[in-house]
Amino acid sequence: MGKRLVVKGWNMWMRLWAAMVVLCAVTACAAPSVQPNAKDAAETEAIALAEAKAQLVTYPKYGDSDPHPWSGRKPWSYPVHGIDVSRWQGDIDWTRAAASGVSFAYIKATEGGDLLDPRFRAHWKDARRAGVRRGAYHYFYFCRPAAEQARWFIRHVPRDPQALPHVLDMEWTPHSRTCTRRPSGARVRAEADRFLDILEAHYGRHPVLYTTVDFYRDTGIGRLAGTEFWLRSVADHPRVTYPGAQWQFWQYTGTGRVPGIEGDVDLNVFGGSAERWLRWSGQI
């Protein structure tokens, strides 16, 4: 009697096991997922950060055809440097530029509502091939509506998940042959908001806004909420030239000399640590 019960019990469990195997075959039972714990995630992120930092060339110091005698904090005290370029730089040896410490490039794409920089596509492609993080910028004219200019930019600048947030370049244009208007500060801010919102909806990140000292002062453009700024200041640190302003990029000269580029080029720094740069630019 005892043996028959044992055998009967064993047979019952075998039938249950076989039924479960059949059921899983029919319903595609999935193995329980194993979630990494916080320690594993932190270790993985630390490894990724170390690898990304090892690829950066930090604290470069470039030549300048018209050097400024900096006092206080100097541009080369920042670890991450980059350039902004247009057709005027001609052909660029992007591999040499990257090896010298160019970590990012902002490339002129469009101007107003009808001009495309003829070197944009080549610079865009070649910078990526050399491993330089790049974004595109638009030079704004006050003689066309912001929405029209935003559509012109979108027409020519492709979506790229690896691209930096694109840039709206707003400054006065007193030497333009076609548009020298100087709208009120309220009008300027409204047009900037419109342009930035359209690009954010299309590309998925809020653009950066580049501007100059007089334009910043005259228009109150610094009041735009949620906007990161790229400020031109070639004679002093931005904290002196733009008191109280928060900035992401600082353009510190227009007469820089960089390996791989013939002639002068604009030089810029990112206003944070190497780690912050890697996070902001989406590399980790």
Give the residue numbers annotated as catalytic, written as ranges.
84, 169, 171
Distance linking the first and last C-alpha atoms of the chain: 68
Whether 65 and 50 have beta carbons less than 8 Å apart is answered as: no
Q: Cα–Cα distance between 119 and 178 in angstroms, integer?
A: 22
The answer for residues whose C-beta is within 8 angstroms of residue 76's C-beta and 6 or more apart is 59, 60, 61
Pairing status of strand 115-116 against strand 249-257:
unpaired
3-state helix, strand, coil in the chain (%, to 5): 40, 20, 40
> Is the CA virtual torsion 128, 134, 140, 144 positive or negative?
positive
Angle formed by the axes of helices 185-203 and 146-156, nearest 10°: 30
Q: Buried b vs exposed e over 257-281: b needs ≥16 C-beta within 10 Å?
A: bbbbbeebbbbbbbbeebeebbebb
